Amino acid sequence: MTNIQNSLALAFLPGYLFSCQYEQQLNKSNENESPPVTQNPDEASDQKLIRRYLEAIQLQGFEYLEEILHPTFKCINTNTDSINNSKDELELWKSQHEKWKHISFEEPTLKSIVVNRGILKGKWTLVWTFLSAMDKRNLQPLKLDFHMAVKTEDNKIAEVQTWHKEEEHSTFF
């Protein structure tokens, strides 16, 4: 999948979720084909895993992050159109902690689904939150809209597609 496809996937996943009205489709599926989007049977455990992921980033729990990232993990930052593997992602967050202090995420809004077809096939959780921090260089507070689509596999985080709203004075990524 190319970076453009990934960027488009993240951009359209929330609209796809809500336009499909997946709760209503559960009763309308025929025997030969499952509906395009269904409820995630692992919603509670996936959401708990994602909350722990965000908490580990805040607390610099990089050893724990290594444990919960899938061996094929990738993070697609749609702001920069970059793709990181787990090692690159850990280094990125370490560098952010060098630039910022008091990194925190507000309580996220989470919506878990299973996409049954197409390039987005898999278990996904959509995450809406705010990232807050203090820039160490200029002591300016930062607060960024932070959105993610997180794909889970085998109780690990397999893929993160992220978008954040840039602030003029931020040194984010």
pLDDT digits (tens, 9 = 90+) for 102-117: 999 999 999 999 999 8
Q: What is the pLDDT of residue 168?
A: 53
* Residue 4, pLDDT above cutoff 60: no
Q: What is the pLDDT of residue 32?
A: 72
Q: What is the pLDDT of residue 14?
A: 55
Please tell me whether the overall predicted TM-score, pTM, comes out greater than 0.85 for this model.
no
* Residue 8, pLDDT above cutoff 80: no
Distances (CA, A) of 12 to 8, 41, 54: 6, 22, 23
pLDDT digits (tens, 9 = 90+) for 31-80: 677 789 999 999 999 999 999 999 999 999 999 999 999 999 999 988 88
* Residue 24, pLDDT above cutoff 60: no
Task: Specify the residue for token string 């970059």.
Answer: 82
Sequence-distant (6+) residues with CB within 8 A of 110 are: 47, 50, 51, 125, 126, 127, 128
∠ CA 132-171-148 to the nearest 5 degrees? 55
User: How far is Cα 123 from Cα 111, in angstroms, rounded to an integer?
Assistant: 11
